[in-house]
Structure 1
């Protein structure tokens, strides 16, 4: 959803992660992002009007923090480095964006005019945004984020109720971690945005428990749905008590187990590029993902990354700029 920019014209194997830049370059980017984010927060009404004009925001009905970040000019110049810089605790741009995100939430609820609201939850790259864009026009407001923190979901439900929206639908999109990893990497080619594997593991592990914790709230004012997404991206949906039963019956792994599955699948992609000729992922994304591995796996991943892109450079066409 990020417009085509100059970063996409850099050969994939020559791109650099924010974390590979010199500290002076990182500081320069952090300062630029903080200045831009502070300006957006000061002029929130104008910023949210611009957000509503973006394709894929349902004219402001869709609340999505990743899309909100694309208001930052420095992030649009290089989304991979921009999103990484927002994760850096040394920067404060995220603080201003969070404040703007609250204004976006309240604006969407005001525009909903008490119409039904839908919340999408689940691990990253499970199809939430696809579902939000497909179903969103039928609702007054659409909330698209992992929403795997129980307290955060309870707070959002309270805000929705306070806004007078009495009918809430919540859809849990559920996908195997390995399938989500491949979907996330494919998205990184288009948008330059990836999810650190530790954060991805946390969201996937917590999602089913947060969903089941909503069981006492099910009734006339809250409807629950469980969507199982397969490798092809299609899914089977259950609702209400059947949805709760479906999630109770499915295997629920601890965060450490999900992290191991994701990291093993990721290393396999680096280790065996010849067996997956479509997996020519940008170097900056892979370098950033290497940082999110457990410490004992990083040296192997760094070695595989060097070997991976030596192979890319030798094969010629795969070393071209991204699509």
Structure 2
């Protein structure tokens, strides 16, 4: 079993989102991330070697920007706040990481010398990374990102072909918004990383259209697959023209419709908390997600979030448990002491 980090030991109901910190603390975290990211960019070769030595990167051949960000020490100390800070336009770390990501892409392509490439695309939490790690060893370079912007995908394909790679595969992992929301929340417990609901809606809505836009390329230069994921994560896979046909025939709601479904499912989760302590979600993640709701739904969400944690606290007291499902103060859960300090600075949890 992987040992818990100090961040994971903070009681779930005591965690605080980056957006709830005082501006001085937010500024300090942004500055730390920027300094660290700039240092990585200056020593890119060394940074990419460190990335290649990280588990889950396929020896550096998996091109994944979220994984690349874990090279930042301040992000590793508290991933939820770290990823949130990278989203803040007031910070500069993302600029340096973008540069490093391009170097990672070029390095992966250079090392395979015209070998096989696979691109995974689809909305967030649709199963791309799981599929990439399972299938990636059969390929030279593996690109793992939503890839839902048509121009961005076209540029990447051009870059791959210019590198001499003539066998390119592209897999669209397709999971419904509600199931993706559940998967994203489950991932947030393990990795501390969540996806704002507005961005999630955009990617899920655009993905099928971007995939179909590749129709003229399908053939000898590009092989495509459509992996329809069920709630358990199993996939029904079609390929080639059959893959295009299955996407063409499936319902393709627009961004506003997907956003409504995601937000409704999220509010339902807050409105009807489960009795299982192991299924409760960290407070910082929920607070961050509330910010990504449409303005007219934020008031209700904030009210539900306050009620949600009140209910959790009552159930915990009755069961002699903390909201993480372990006795407060145990080795698994240090109780509110550590969490009570967690809102004071970004490095303490």
TM-score for both structures, normalised by structure 1: 0.97
> Are residue 281 (structure 1) and residue 281 (structure 2) matched?
yes
Structure 1: tracts of 5 or more residues without a match: none
CA displacement 1:117-166 (0-9 Å, x = unmatched): 00000000000000000000000000000000000000000010011011
Aligned to 1:21: 21
Asked if the contact 1:3/1:76 (under 8 Å) is kept, the reply is no
Asked if the contact 1:5/1:78 (under 8 Å) is kept, the reply is no
The structure-2 alpha-carbon separation of the partners of 1:215 and 1:3, relative to structure 1 and needing over 3 Å to count, comes to farther
Aligned to 1:252: 252
Asked if the contact 1:269/1:276 (under 8 Å) is kept, the reply is no
CA distance in 2, matches of 1:277, 1:227: 33
> Are residue 61 (structure 1) and residue 65 (structure 2) matched?
no
Aligned to 1:313: 313
Offset, 1:112: 1.4
CA distance in 1, matches of 2:160, 2:100: 17
CA distance in 2, matches of 1:163, 1:211: 22
Q: How does 1:141-152 map to 2 (within 5 A)?
A: 141-152=141-152
CA distance in 2, matches of 1:244, 1:318: 49
Aligned to 1:82: 82
Aligned to 2:43: 43
CA distance in 1, matches of 2:249, 2:32: 48
Offset, 1:3: 7.7
Aligned to 1:201: 201
SS in 2 for 1:70: helix
**Is 58-67 or 313-322 further displaced after alignment?**
313-322
**Is 46-55 or 307-316 further displaced after alignment?**
307-316
CA distance in 2, matches of 1:313, 1:73: 32
CA distance in 1, matches of 2:292, 2:182: 16
Offset, 1:310: 1.3
Aligned to 1:222: 222
SS in 2 for 1:147: coil
Offset, 1:113: 1.6
Offset, 1:318: 4.8
SS in 2 for 1:319: coil
SS in 2 for 1:273: coil
CA distance in 2, matches of 1:309, 1:78: 21
Larger radius of gyration: 2
Q: How does 1:60-139 map to 2 (within 5 A)?
A: 60-139=60-139
Structure 2: tracts of 5 or more residues without a match: 327-331, 334-349
Offset, 1:274: 3.4
Offset, 1:276: 6.7
CA distance in 1, matches of 2:184, 2:52: 25
Aligned to 1:8: 8
CA distance in 2, matches of 1:277, 1:189: 13
> Are residue 166 (structure 1) and residue 170 (structure 2) matched?
no
Aligned to 2:340: none
Aligned to 2:212: 212
SS in 1 for 2:184: helix
Asked if the contact 1:127/1:173 (under 8 Å) is kept, the reply is yes
Q: How does 1:179-194 map to 2 (within 5 A)?
A: 179-194=179-194
Asked if the contact 2:168/2:223 (under 8 Å) is kept, the reply is yes
Offset, 1:4: 3.7
* Total equivalences in the alignment: 322
Aligned to 1:155: 155
